[in-house]
Homo-oligomer: A and B are copies of this chain.
Amino acid sequence: MADQEEPEDGQAGTGPIVLVSHRGPVQFGREDGERTVERGGGGLVTALSGLAGQLSEALWVCAALTDEDTAVADEHDGGAFDVDDDGLALRMVRVDPEAHEQFYGVIANPLLWFVQHELWSRSRNPDITRVEHDAFEQGYAAVNRDFANVVAEEVAARGGDATVLVHDYHFYLLPEMLRAACPEVFIHHFVHVPWPQADSWRILPPSMRDAVFTGLLGNDVIGFHTQRFARNFLLGCEELLGMPVDLEEGTVSVDGRTVRARAYPISIDTEEFEARASSPEVEEHREALSSIRREHLILRVDRTDPSKNIVRGFKAFGILLHDHPELCERVNFLALLQPSRQDVEEYADYTERIRRVVADVNLEHGSSDWQPIDLRLEENLDQAVAAYTLFDVLMVNAIFDGMNLVAKEAILVNQNDGVLALSENTGAYEQLGEASVTLFPYDLQQQADALYEALTMPTEERRRRREAAAALVREYDVGRWLGNQFDDIRRWRAERST
């Protein structure tokens, strides 16, 4: 194939690129009668936007999520249109609102998100009823079908031999549908959330879990953040579907095709992030935060998602103050928490539990001029970056987390020989665990002890760890994440065509 001759070039060897994700790189709105364009939210879009810049003539397929998105899609008769000067084209798929609500609000976000982050409480929930079965068929599968049809059309328009990049847990069924329509296409799927072990997938009945697995097995490559998630996927294929799996090779054999499960740890754009850290806006927040700083600063920056384990983190901090009263008045725990999905009862309850435990710890250990926990429920990235530069200990004690980019961002720009206190169940732990103090997320005493160890670690040891972690973040940045995936895509496409 001609396009494999110059594999060092961006698109060479991949054929035409079609990228699929639920949210696109831009979102249209309307303000004062004028159309507005905003960069779409979410870490996924941030990471993929780097990709778009690298690839000319790529097409990005996403959902039309706002009324104005739909208006823009209508203006192009539902087809593709150029979105910037780099040659990136966008196609916004118009989805029936009811089907979208079932897809997003019943299946993807509660059901799959909770399975993949181990958030179900099995003796109480979920109760899978006809509502969920209907939503899976008429919402999740239907939206996957709509997108598969659009992508198949675009692949055919590009001669069939394209590379399709599918993103995340919204589109587990799409690859098998697309494979049936376009047998020659090369499909690479990246899963941005944890992949749990088979018994957690057994929370779903076979009509759903088997569909998820066989849907994904339509891919040529399935990328995960860690070896552990890739292994869980392969073992799941064996345990749930009885498929032949090679754990050492990282492959499953599907009807004579080889499907690969691989780890590609996502990262950040380190240059861009370091530039942001030295911006005037961040400097302003740094000054404000420096004034509240005492001897030690513990920091956490999270969405208020139960998977982040925020309540246990504060309980552990309370134990630290109980066990080491000499720290009182000398340490602050700054918690910058972005409220998340507050329209969902489970999330609103979780925020209330956070407020409650903060009140309890501050009441028990605080004094008239010192409140141990400084809780800020707001979204302010500049303030967060300012705090990244200042912390002594960053607490990341997630129950499960696909990667946790906060850990990478924060250790990169920290100027205080800060120590990462990192849950063993984050994707980041596979890379940064050795440079961190490990947290075991259900063990309050262990977390309190680990915070104490981090706070009292000799300066040279703190510096050594911070430098080691920051060097890893710089070496394996988002460009490496993309580059490794594209190197593999080119290699496996070439192998396939020989």
Contacts and interface: CB of A to CB of B under 8 A. Distances in A.
Contact of A306 (B123, B206, B232): B123
A123 B121 contact: yes
A446 B207 CA distance: 10
Interface stretch (A163-171, A185-193, A195-203, A413-421): A195-203
Given A121-B121, A197-B198, A442 B315 contact: no
Given A120-B121, A127-B312, A199-B200, 20 more contacts: A118-B122, A118-B199, A119-B123, A120-B442, A127-B315, A128-B444, A128-B446, A129-B319, A132-B445, A133-B445, A197-B197, A197-B199, A202-B425, A204-B442, A204-B443, A205-B440, A205-B443, A205-B446, A207-B446, A228-B239
Interface in A103-147: 118-124, 126-130, 132-133
A307 interface: yes
Contact of A442 (B127, B197, B442, B444): B127
A350 interface: yes
A228 B442 CA distance: 26
A92 interface: no
Nearest to A232: B199
A444 B127 contact: yes
Q: How large, as a class, is the contact surface on chain A?
A: 35 or more
A450 to B, nearest CB: 10
15 contacts: A119-B122, A119-B123, A120-B442, A121-B123, A123-B399, A127-B312, A127-B315, A128-B443, A129-B444, A197-B199, A202-B424, A204-B443, A205-B442, A205-B443, A205-B446
Interface string A401-424: 000000000000000000000001
Contact of A206 (B123, B205, B319, B440): B440
A489 interface: no
Interface of A: 118-124, 126-130, 132-133, 196-200, 202-207, 228, 232, 235, 239, 306-307, 309, 312, 315, 319, 350, 399, 424-425, 440, 442-446
Contacts of A306: 123
- Shortest 8 CB-CB contacts between residues of A and residues of B: A121-B121, A123-B306, A205-B440, A128-B443, A197-B197, A205-B443, A130-B445, A197-B199
A155 B275 CA distance: 70
Contacts of A312: 127
A311 to B, nearest CB: 8
Contacts of A197: 197-199
A470 B196 CA distance: 36
Contacts of A122: 118-119, 121, 399, 442
A445 B127 CA distance: 9
Given A205-B440, A307-B123, A128 B445 contact: yes
Contacts of A239: 228
Contacts of A126: 442
A123 B122 CA distance: 12
Given A197-B198, A200-B199, A205-B440, A445 B119 contact: no
Contacts of A129: 319, 444-445
A207 B232 CA distance: 24
A237 to B, nearest CB: 14
A247 to B, nearest CB: 9
Contacts of A309: 123
B127 A124 contact: no
